[in-house]
Structure 1
């Protein structure tokens, strides 16, 4: 295992302090008390010197912590000839900093696993041969070979007929997904099946995985508001400690009582437990595909009371889907879908692409169309299997076959906001496809689960028409629908709601980015959302599932709760120990051992955040921590 220079220095300090304590104890047991005291003193001085330097650096940065208590206790113990107690404190303090380093490293393990998997090269097709090239040499349009077990190095599109892709490292999904030709694949996924070809669509530095790594680095370097709050609490605890120590000395005239009090308060569980619990929460959320950009947003998520949701691509899938197919006599649903999809292969319109994808899901054979002519915004004409096919809006197709606008008697009824795609075969109306942007699976259950997590107000913010928004969200129990909003309008809504309670905004489009930045917590649907929204957001959902929002909030709440438990328990036990020392029930040596037991306990408790296991966010789910 590799260690940084700082880690090696901490290990050296701990080793020196421990060696001094053990050698001194050996000398003391054979009757060489004076030499034992000298050895203990030598073991304490380096730790005390390093501690004083760190305190001075903190004061220069304007930070005051309970490391001061550790320095006072060692200094007082040496001054009053309690050298053994000073040696124990030195060992416990140096050991505590090592334990903190280990705990934070354990908490970040899953984040570091992302960094460890970064690919350095890619296998590229070139003139009928394969060549290994540096990742930076891959450009959009390159055809790459992804071998079994390889990580996808850049974002791209499946160029083979089919592929099995494992996205668990990004999304937490346990099952591999079967993807067909033309399906987009995120970098960072793993090939779980046979080798397949991938057409690169992004440079490596602009791909999903590279963006995730940048977010991870930002998350690791952040310091939570709660940690700053812990620093402020430490001032009060420092005052209490000095007060109890001074009172014990004044009341009894025995300075050793004051030394014992100071020793019990060393080091501080407050500054150990909070960062460990919050960093563990970041790691656990990343495991479920919820990438939180720092401990600050994690804390803010735990306090959210108002949720504002964008509609298209967030509450709904964002891609049109076929809800029904109406057929004229002589045609089946598969006939209609096959004709439309075959012709739409020549169109880049989102509706056309959705129809082609639906046909492929039904394993329909799609012949190549000929004589294709696309009328922008109207429809497409061409020949499929020797038949003249017209596909487009109902009015366009009706006019094309000689009917008056609105006289297409075959038109089915369809809901507000849906899209009607008509098809004519050989000059006669053959059928219609009704397409709509449906709610995401589990959206209703997810909102119910969020209510159980303390979200008291849920609003919809959309640029769509009010009647469309109302129809799509029927039965969801929203507290308000704000339709027809511009990006500025969304920002104003967020700012207005923030005056009453902490607000979370969830969106996926470029137009959502300003509102995401304005909210207490902005959440971006990162799997298919715009880069601008992911950049502005505090949280990115790496999996295209809205239910992960509830999981992220549950983890944030549990992490914060565990951190507070550790702080309250640690400080409470420390205060009890100080009182016992003030009344003479703990000697300085006993007090040092007692405090170290407290520190170990609170850090181990903080690490419980790594085992948070939120349940599925269904109506019957219990999203609490099982830790």
Structure 2
């Protein structure tokens, strides 16, 4: 007895957890639960269960099935099916609802209330399951709309005002405190903060944001305070674009699905003709009704959209936005992937990789001098130098004077004297002697794609800084994974040949096209297609726009990038993570295999059911059960794609 209080507490805790889980479920799937199809399905199901409890033998004995509960269950379900059939006829979309409408109407006329109820409930349950798969797949992104705060603090005319989110305008200065959700897309003007961007980019770790950095609506400010200048609001934000494209993805249908629907149009007259023939041949109208029930193409038509929507949902949950179902089909056929270099295989930003002291100063001293001189510079090379110093936690005070020199160099006065930074030629033009050995070393580094700048202190060269656009850490493993999948890889870049070949060599890409213009990238894609390859082009969406549009599948690096990427690419890698690419290829191939499995299974069940219905072995109720139960394996086979995980090597 001593354990009773503990058991009671566990029971109460379980009940609370159950209630909370139910509340979360209702909150997440509110639209699905309030959909008319769901409401009619549940109403018909509840009435059928009640009728079965009151009159259990009514399922097998039509005389006992003529009760008001069976009739109510049949009408609740049939009315919605009839309405759907009428809507389909008006739109010239001859779906499975039409033969089922004939079947349920005929069953009601001859007094087979239980048969009509079972047929209606099972057909509606199949549709409801499909809608649930769709709701589950899109739920992760649909929930993003709830990530935005209702009210926002805006600084206008020196005053801090709290306004509703809809009143925030572009160029407004928005204040973001620690723990706040960021309500707009914008650029940090002041402050430093740790931002959790998992909801948008899928990044597991928070990232630091400083003045000049971009932030996105829906992300969380974990620590720090920011002033953000608004660049996009409402549906123009990255969050709004995600929602819009997910809706488009769920509305659009792949070519394979349209073909099935076209064939489905022939099923309706075929079912009616076969049913009429069986009635004439056997004189048994129940057999004709059974034929109408089992001959419906709903399971076959269900085979494709469930798999495509589940695949789109899986991609979204892993940080990739697929615009439409047709992309899944196209991705499954890809046999060659062409990569842009800058911003795709590399970060697209210079990074200080080497510091070579050329005098008595240490490496740290050279970096400190360069960072102070470059602190006010807006050039990417200058920012890279300052960032390197900050990464080492070096003090970087403002220079006393700062001048930008013609030729992308800077001259600054600091406490220790005068500092000049620039390429060797610039320093020579400033009257600073560049030793031939230093000149030769710099020339050799430039020849292999590096950027070299020299640091002079009080007229003497004290160090050499080497910068380069570094490879993304996952690029090499992605290329290796693609090769294992049998995919041909190509590097297509506008960069110089030496740099392109060096990058390709490091990654194991044997085919390189360098120093090409955007139009030439399109020609390369077309040449690959003419050779029989289905091409995916991966780029950052700037100069790659035409190639992204020409390829069989365009993949843009980062949805937060350019509008060109969003409009021309079929897929956006939200976190700029190349490892998503092999996953998308594997996912697409498995989706197409699932569709083929679904079609083979549904055709087999159709053939068996028709064969059993003609001699009268199947009755309307058993035929409906067999037909609708056959949709469960199809939906389950598709739904498993949502949980398909990435395999990292």
TM-score by length of 2: 0.85
Equivalent residues of 2:249, 2:322 under 8 A apart: yes
After superposition, the CA RMSD in angstroms is 3.2
**1:424 matched to which residue of 2?**
456
Equivalent residue of 1:451, what SS? Answer: helix
CA-CA distance at 1:167 after TM superposition? 1.4
**1:559 matched to which residue of 2?**
591
Q: 1:199 aligns with which of 219, 228, 248?
A: 228
In the alignment, structure 1 residue 107 sits paired with structure 2 residue 137: yes
**2:413 matched to which residue of 1?**
383
CA-CA distance at 1:48 after TM superposition? 4.2
Equivalent residue of 1:36, what SS? Answer: coil
Equivalent residue of 2:185, what SS? Answer: coil
In the alignment, structure 1 residue 12 sits paired with structure 2 residue 40: yes
Q: 1:494 aligns with which of 482, 500, 525?
A: 525
Q: Distance in 2 between matches of 1:397 and 1:506?
A: 39
Instruction: Select between 440-449 and 294-303 the one with higher mean Cα deviation.
Output: 294-303
In the alignment, structure 1 residue 604 sits paired with structure 2 residue 636: yes
**1:355 matched to which residue of 2?**
385
Distance 1:9 1:446, change over 3 A: closer
CA-CA distance at 1:133 after TM superposition? 2.5
Distance 1:203 1:83, change over 3 A: closer
Equivalent residues of 2:494, 2:517 under 8 A apart: yes
**2:19 matched to which residue of 1?**
none
Q: Distance in 2 between matches of 1:115 and 1:350?
A: 35
Q: Which runs of 5+ in 2 are unaligned?
A: 1-25
Instruction: Select between 420-429 and 303-312 the one with higher mean Cα deviation.
Output: 303-312
Instruction: Select between 254-263 and 436-445 the one with higher mean Cα deviation.
Output: 254-263
Distance 1:311 1:20, change over 3 A: closer
**2:22 matched to which residue of 1?**
none
In the alignment, structure 1 residue 593 sits paired with structure 2 residue 621: no
CA-CA distance at 1:47 after TM superposition? 4.4
Q: Distance in 1 between matches of 2:104 and 2:522?
A: 54
Equivalent residues of 2:196, 2:219 under 8 A apart: yes
Q: Distance in 1 between matches of 2:409 and 2:45?
A: 81
Instruction: Select between 422-431 and 466-475 the one with higher mean Cα deviation.
Output: 466-475
CA-CA distance at 1:517 after TM superposition? 1.6
Q: Which runs of 5+ in 1 are unaligned?
A: 622-627
**1:174 matched to which residue of 2?**
204
Equivalent residues of 2:181, 2:218 under 8 A apart: no
CA-CA distance at 1:130 after TM superposition? 4.0
**1:153 matched to which residue of 2?**
184
Equivalent residue of 1:92, what SS? Answer: helix
CA-CA distance at 1:416 after TM superposition? 1.9
Q: Distance in 1 between matches of 2:489 and 2:565?
A: 20
CA-CA distance at 1:473 after TM superposition? 1.1
Instruction: Select between 143-152 and 431-440 the one with higher mean Cα deviation.
Output: 143-152
Equivalent residue of 1:365, what SS? Answer: coil
Q: Distance in 1 between matches of 2:357 and 2:253?
A: 61
Q: 1:458 aligns with which of 489, 512, 516?
A: 489
Equivalent residues of 1:325, 1:433 under 8 A apart: yes
**1:447 matched to which residue of 2?**
479
Q: Distance in 2 between matches of 1:454 and 1:51?
A: 47
Q: Which runs of 4+ in 1 moved over 6 A?
A: none
Distance 1:466 1:410, change over 3 A: closer
Distance 1:27 1:424, change over 3 A: closer
CA-CA distance at 1:251 after TM superposition? 6.4
Distance 1:9 1:507, change over 3 A: closer
Q: Distance in 2 between matches of 1:570 and 1:32?
A: 29
Equivalent residues of 1:155, 1:186 under 8 A apart: yes
CA-CA distance at 1:538 after TM superposition? 1.2
For these two proteins, the number of residue pairs brought into alignment is: 614
Equivalent residues of 2:253, 2:324 under 8 A apart: yes
Superposed, which structure 2 residues align to 1:168-247 within 5 Å? 168-180=198-210, 182-192=212-222, 194-205=223-234, 206-235=236-265
- Highest relative contact order (Cα 8 Å, sep 6+), 1 or 2? 1
Q: Distance in 2 between matches of 1:143 and 1:17?
A: 51
Q: 1:573 aligns with which of 590, 605, 609?
A: 605
Q: Distance in 1 between matches of 2:56 and 2:207?
A: 67
**1:86 matched to which residue of 2?**
116
